Amino acid sequence: MTGTVALAAQSQGFLSTSGVEIAFLLVGLVTFGAALVTVTTKQLVHAALWLVVALGGLAVEYLLLTAEFIAWVQVLIYVGSVVVLLLFGLMLTKAPIGRSPDADSGNRWPALGVAVAAAAALVWIVVDAFRTTWIDLDGAPQGTTKVSGEILFRHWVLPFEALSVLLLAALVGAVVLSRRKADAETAGSKAGGKR
């Protein structure tokens, strides 16, 4: 009887927290707040900068989960490339720096409903997919370069290639839109000069 009590005292309970769990919760709250500000602000450049905070918070969450490789991929690809590409596209299309009244379409409630439905569907799919999944503690640690590389190049090659094509299309579209505006402005200034 005393051996069982001593064993129970040594093991942590289900709801006991550690410093890593508290840090995970705090960083998660900051990340959630930054993501919320990203989608609610009316200043496009501020939205891109808040997106950097949200994506950086996700990288910290990966570090707290001891997935260092995934954290660095998050920083290099999403914070380093995607946000820079987004800012580059904003600057090429000469998006307004200040408040943009046309950044809000007036469909907040339908958009919120779609976002909540999509989040519920995503949570349901993830919970259902991993309900019976067990982590092999004897194998290579999850989140290491070897395990992540094997999973990435075995199962996720096509989505990553599709994402690269999508980003390339966004960059080409930004260049085309900026060229049309520049051509229209030069044509307008030539027409004004002939008078």
Structure tokens at 14: 């289900």
Residue pair 56/75 in contact by the 8 Å Cβ criterion: yes
To the nearest 10 degrees (0 to 180), the angle between helices 44-64 and 83-92 is 170
Q: Which fold has domain 18-100+137-194?
A: Four Helix Bundle (Hemerythrin (Met), subunit A) (1.20.120)
Angle at CA of residue 57, ends 16 and 121, nearest 5°: 80
Digit-coded pLDDT (tens) for 6-54? 444 455 555 557 888 899 999 999 999 999 998 888 787 888 889 999 9
CA–CA dist 90, 49 (Å, integer): 12
Q: What is the DSSP letter of 194?
A: H
- Segment 58-90, tens digit of pLDDT: 999 999 888 888 888 888 888 887 777 777 777
**pTM for the model:** 0.58
Alpha-carbon span 104 to 102, nearest angstrom: 5
Domain locations in the chain as residue ranges: 18-100+137-194
Residue pair 132/75 in contact (Cβ under 8 Å)? The answer is no
